[in-house]
Structure 1
Amino acid sequence: MVAEHTAFPQYKLRVRQPKLCDPTVKQYSGYLDVDSDKHFYFWFFESRDRPAEDPVLLWLNGGPGCSSMTGLLMELGPCRVNAKGDGVVNNPHSWNNHANLIFLDQPVNVGYSYGRGVFNTVSASEDVYAFLQLFFQQFNQYASLPFHVFGESYGGHYVPAIGSKIFRENRQLLDTSSLVGQFWKGKGVQVINLDSLGIGNGLVDELVQYKYYHKMACDSSYGSVLSESACRRMENAYPACAEKIEKCYRYENALSCVPASFTCNRGIIGPYQESGLNPYDVREPCESGGLCYPIIGAIEKYLNRPEVKAELGADVEKYQGCNMNVNMGFNLAGDWMKPYMRYLPELLESGIRILVYAGDADFICNWYGNKAWTIELSWAGQKQFAAAKDRAWTMKPTEDLQVGEVRSHENFTFLRVFGAGHMVPYDQPESSADMIERWLSKRDF
C-alpha cells in the first residue's frame, strides 16, 4: 500500500502489515519516502488495551544516529530480542499496554532508514512532521487521539524541536484569520492532538548539564567511580567548557558550537571514557556488543536476519544500531551544543505537559544535570517549580515501595528513577510501565 498527501507532494508512505514481535495486535511498518533522496523507516503497534481510545505515542532513540528499534527491542516495545538474536520474547511491561506506539528511525541513515544525510535537529523535525501528517491521513482512526512525543538521550534535542514544530503548525491551522493556515487545512493538513512531551535521560541544556558530570562520576549516591586525579581534571575543565557553550548559545552556528563540543567532550567526558566503565550505568563495566550492552548486538543480529527483513519490508543491505557517521555529521554541524531547551517555555505556557525522567545510575545524561536544568528553565512557572518539594514516588500495587522521586508544578514534572541507568525501561521495566501509565492517564505520582 502506498499513501500520498496533496499538501506534501514530495512525500509518500509505503506500508505493510507484519506479524512479528506481538502478533496479537495490529501492526504497520514501512517507509516515508522523500522524493528519491530520503527514506525513513517506521514500525507501529496498536495498544493491547483499547486501541480506538488509547493515545498515540511516538518514540525516538537518540545518538544522534541510533535506531529507535533499540527502544522497541530492548526497552519499551511489545517484545524483546533474546540473547542469541534469533527470536524475541514477550514484554509484559511494554508501553503499548495502554498506548498505540510508533517507532521511527530518524534522521536518515539510522537503523533501517537510508538516503541523503540530514545533520541538524530542526531539519529532522520537518520530516517527522510530514510523516505524522501522512500517517494520520492514512490511518485516520488514530488522528483524533491524544498524541505524545517521547525520546531518550539526544531525544532531548529531537523532542523539543518536534514538539515546537507540531505546536506552531497547529496554532496556524487553528487561527481562523490565518490565510496560510486555512490554505493548508484545505489541503487536508490536520491538527495533531499534541498532549505531552517526554524526555528520558536527555541532553537538553548543555551549559547546565555539563556542570554535573563531575558530581555524577565523583560524588553521586553510588560513590566515586574515578580516581582523584581524573575527578580534578573533569572539574577543572568546566570553566573553559562553559565559556564555549555560552558562545554557542549566543550565536547558534557551527563556528561557535563545534569548538564547544570538542572542548567539553574531551575535557569532561574523556576522563570517564578512559575508565572503561559503562557511560550509561556507573555501576557496570562496559561490555562488548554495542553501547556496552550485549543485547544491542543481539538486536543487530535479529534485524539482519533475511526473513525478518523480508517480513518488515526493510530495504537496507545491513541494519546498524548506531551510525557514527551520522553522529559526527551532527557534531560537525554544531547541533550537539545548541540550546534546544529554548523551545520548551512556549509549550509549557500554552498548556502542553512535559515529563522529564532520568535513571539515577546514568552518567552520560545524568539525573543531577537533568534535574538542574528543569529547575533553571526560564518559564512562567519557574519560581514555583524551583520551590516545589521532591516527593516520594511509590509504585502499585502495594504503594509502599519507593521507586523514585518526583517534583511537579502545573504541567511540568521531573522524575528521578531509582536504580536505572540511561535506558530506564530496560533497567526498571515495572517502574517504567507504572510511570507511563500514570502519565498518559494524567494520574499523580
Structure 2
Amino acid sequence: MFTGYVESQNKPDTDPVVLWLNGGPGCSSLQGLTVELGPFRVNNFGEEVVLNPYSWNKYANIIFLDAPAGVGFSVRRDGLWNYTDDEVANDNLIAMMLWFGKFPERRANDFYVAGESYGGTYVPMLAQRLSNDWKNFPNFKGFFVGNGCLNSQLEFNSLIQYSYNHGFIDETFYRNSVQKCCSSGDCDFYAMANNDKHPCTNISMDLYYSNYYTGLDPYFLYFTCYLTDQPQVSSPPMAIIKQKTKAIKGKKYPKLDTLPSCAHYNDSTVYLMRQDVRAALHIPSDVQPYSNCNDAIAEDYIQQYLDISPFVKEVMFFNGDIDSVCNVVHNEQFVQRLGYKLLKAKEPWNDNDQLPPAIGMLTRYDGVDLLTIRGAGHFTSSANEKPKESLQMFYNFINGNDYSQPIPK
C-alpha cells in the first residue's frame, strides 16, 4: 500500500503523527495531500504547484494512505475489488504497523487518525483496532472525522429534511408526501425506499434525489465558476454517491453533466498521472495509472456497518454546513444519539480577526466535540472552501485548546 508522508514544519520530533484517509470508498488520500490539507496545492490543470499557507503539517507529521489496495498508487494484483469494512480496517492496521516499523522514531509521538466522508467508517473502525493494540500503538490518542458518512438511515432521512429546508423540494409535494406516507411528522423514508412493496417507495426516492436534480454541486452547494472556452477536463467525484445509492431500490442516480473546466476538480489527478511526477514519487512502472477514485471498488464494496459509533479516546466530528452528500443534520443527529453527556450546548466558535467572528457552531459532549464550519462544503480545507478555519480547528484539537484560540503567527 502506498503512503505519502510530510513531516511537521514545526517540531517533527515531538509534534503528533496524523494518519489521513480520504473516503469513497475507493478514493485516494493523495487528493487530501494535493487538494486539501497538504503543504502544496496543484493548480492550472496539473501544470503548477504552489505552497499551501494553511497546510496541516505546519503543526503535525501527516501520513496519507491510499486505501484499500487498488486505490491511487496502492496495488492489488488480482483485480478483486469486493472489500468489506473489516478487511479494509485490518489492512489499514497492518499498514500502520509497517509504517511505524519503518519510522520507529515516531512511536513516541502522539498518534491520531483522521479522515472525511466514508472515512466516517474507515476511521472509527481502525481506531478501535489501534486502541486494542496498546503494545504497537502506545500513544494513540484519538480520531476526528470531517463530513462523515456515519449512519445510512440518518443520512437518507436527514438529506430530505436538509433539501426541504434549502428550498429544493416543492412545498406542496413535500406536504402531500408527509400526509400520505407518515403517521406522524417523523418519517422513515429510508425504510420506505428499501421496501419495494411500500406505496411510498417512489415518493421517498424522489424526495431523496431532489437535491441532486438541481444541477448544483452536491459536495459544495454554493460553488460557482465562470465558464470559459478552455477544454473540458473536470468532473465531480461521484464515488461516494454511487456507494450510498447502490443499495437503494428504485430509481438509479441520475447522471449529472460534467462540470466545466473552470471547476478545476481534476488538477491534481492530471498532475499525479504525469510520468515525471510518478518518477519523483518512486512509483514502479507496473503500478496502474493514477485516478482520484477507483469506481470498481465503490461499486463492489460491501458496507457491513450502517452505523459507526465512537467508543473511546479524544473524538471530534466536524462538518462544512453546505455539503449535502454527508450533511450536517445527519452528523448532528448521529452524535446526539450516541447518548454522551452534554457538557456545553451549541454556541459559536470564533475567529476574532474576522467579521462576523463566528466560524461555525460547537457542541461539546463528554468525550466528543461536534463542530460546524459556516460556508464550507465536503472538502473543508480545500482552497475554495475554508482552509484557514479548518487549520485553526485542527491545531486546537490536537493541542487540547479552546477552538476559538487563534493559530500561532
The alignment's TM-score, normalised by the length of structure 1, stands at: 0.74
Please give the residue correspondences for 1:146-161 in structure 2 after superposition, counting only pairs within 5 Å. Answer: 146-161=110-125
In structure 2, how many angstroms separate the alpha carbons of the residues matched to 1:326 and 1:439? Answer: 32
144-153 or 398-407, which moves further after superposition?
398-407
Q: Please state if 1:279 is matched with 2:218.
A: yes
Q: CA deviation at 1:263?
A: 9.0
Deviations, residues 395-441 of structure 1 (Å, cap 9, x unaligned):
25579711111011233100011010011111101100100010011
In structure 1, how many angstroms separate the alpha carbons of the residues matched to 2:303 and 2:21? Answer: 21
Which residue in the other structure is 2:209 paired with? 270
Q: CA deviation at 1:264?
A: 11
Deviations, residues 305-344 of structure 1 (Å, cap 9, x unaligned):
10000110223231110111111111xx244x62222xx1
Equivalent residue letter for 1:202: G
Which residue in the other structure is 2:392 paired with? 434
Q: Please state if 1:306 is matched with 2:255.
A: no
Which residue in the other structure is 1:44 paired with? 5
In structure 2, how many angstroms separate the alpha carbons of the residues matched to 1:340 and 1:161? Answer: 8
In structure 2, how many angstroms separate the alpha carbons of the residues matched to 1:57 and 1:200? Answer: 14
SS in 1 for 2:363: strand
SS in 2 for 1:414: strand
In structure 2, how many angstroms separate the alpha carbons of the residues matched to 1:205 and 1:414? Answer: 16
In structure 2, how many angstroms separate the alpha carbons of the residues matched to 1:232 and 1:111? Answer: 45
Equivalent residue letter for 2:223: E
Of residues 129, 134, 147 in structure 1, which corresponds to 2:98?
Answer: 134
In structure 2, how many angstroms separate the alpha carbons of the residues matched to 1:164 and 1:88? Answer: 37
Of residues 326, 329, 345 in structure 1, which corresponds to 2:297?
Answer: 326
Equivalent residue letter for 2:327: N
In structure 2, how many angstroms separate the alpha carbons of the residues matched to 1:234 and 1:158? Answer: 35
Which stretches in structure 2 are left out of the alignment for 5+ residues? 196-200, 228-233, 238-258, 404-409
Please give the residue correspondences for 1:365-384 in structure 2 after superposition, counting only pairs within 5 Å. Answer: 365-378=326-339, 382=340, 384=341
Of residues 161, 167, 177 in structure 2, which corresponds to 1:224?
Answer: 167
Please give the residue correspondences for 1:228-243 in structure 2 after superposition, counting only pairs within 5 Å. Answer: 228=171, 239-242=188-191
Which residue in the other structure is 1:37 paired with? none
In structure 2, the CA distance between the partners of 1:209 and 1:440, relative to structure 1 (3 Å rule), is: same
Equivalent residue letter for 1:428: K
In structure 1, how many angstroms separate the alpha carbons of the residues matched to 2:346 and 2:7? Answer: 35
> Per chain length, whose mean CA-contact separation is higher, i.e. which structure has more relative contact order (CA < 8 Å, sep 6+)?
2
Q: Please state if 1:117 is matched with 2:63.
A: no
Which residue in the other structure is 1:413 paired with? 369
What is the Cα-based RMSD across aligned positions, in Å? 2.7
Deviations, residues 251-295 of structure 1 (Å, cap 9, x unaligned):
xxxxxxxxxxx9999555433222211111222369943325833
Which residue in the other structure is 2:23 paired with? 62
Q: CA deviation at 1:113?
A: 1.6
Deviations, residues 342-367 of structure 1 (Å, cap 9, x unaligned):
xx13x2xxxx0100000001101111
Of residues 62, 79, 82 in structure 2, which corresponds to 1:101?
Answer: 62
In structure 2, the CA distance between the partners of 1:369 and 1:234, relative to structure 1 (3 Å rule), is: farther
Equivalent residue letter for 1:301: V
The share of aligned pairs that are identical, in percent, is 28
Which residue in the other structure is 1:167 paired with? 131
Q: CA deviation at 1:240?
A: 4.8
Which residue in the other structure is 1:74 paired with? 35
In structure 2, how many angstroms separate the alpha carbons of the residues matched to 1:152 and 1:234? Answer: 33
In structure 2, how many angstroms separate the alpha carbons of the residues matched to 1:305 and 1:89? Answer: 17
Which stretches in structure 1 are left out of the alignment for 5+ residues? 1-39, 174-189, 248-261
Equivalent residue letter for 1:199: V
In structure 2, how many angstroms separate the alpha carbons of the residues matched to 1:424 and 1:42? Answer: 22
Deviations, residues 80-135 of structure 1 (Å, cap 9, x unaligned):
10122113100010000000000011012111122143511211111111111111
In structure 1, how many angstroms separate the alpha carbons of the residues matched to 2:402 and 2:355? Answer: 13
Of residues 322, 338, 345 in structure 2, which corresponds to 1:361?
Answer: 322
In structure 1, how many angstroms separate the alpha carbons of the residues matched to 2:62 and 2:204? Answer: 34
In structure 1, how many angstroms separate the alpha carbons of the residues matched to 2:400 and 2:189? Answer: 42
Equivalent residue letter for 1:119: Y
In structure 1, how many angstroms separate the alpha carbons of the residues matched to 2:355 and 2:148? Answer: 28
SS in 1 for 2:3: strand
In structure 2, how many angstroms separate the alpha carbons of the residues matched to 1:276 and 1:215? Answer: 19
Deviations, residues 3-47 of structure 1 (Å, cap 9, x unaligned):
xxxxxxxxxxxxxxxxxxxxxxxxxxxxxxxxxxxxx11100000
The alignment's TM-score, normalised by the length of structure 2, stands at: 0.80
In structure 1, how many angstroms separate the alpha carbons of the residues matched to 2:114 and 2:203? Answer: 27
Q: CA deviation at 1:296?
A: 2.9
Q: CA deviation at 1:244?
A: 7.7
110-119 or 410-419, which moves further after superposition?
110-119
In structure 2, the CA distance between the partners of 1:99 and 1:268, relative to structure 1 (3 Å rule), is: farther
In structure 2, how many angstroms separate the alpha carbons of the residues matched to 1:267 and 1:41? Answer: 40
In structure 2, how many angstroms separate the alpha carbons of the residues matched to 1:268 and 1:155? Answer: 26
SS in 2 for 1:425: coil
Q: CA deviation at 1:191?
A: 2.8
In structure 2, the CA distance between the partners of 1:233 and 1:65, relative to structure 1 (3 Å rule), is: farther
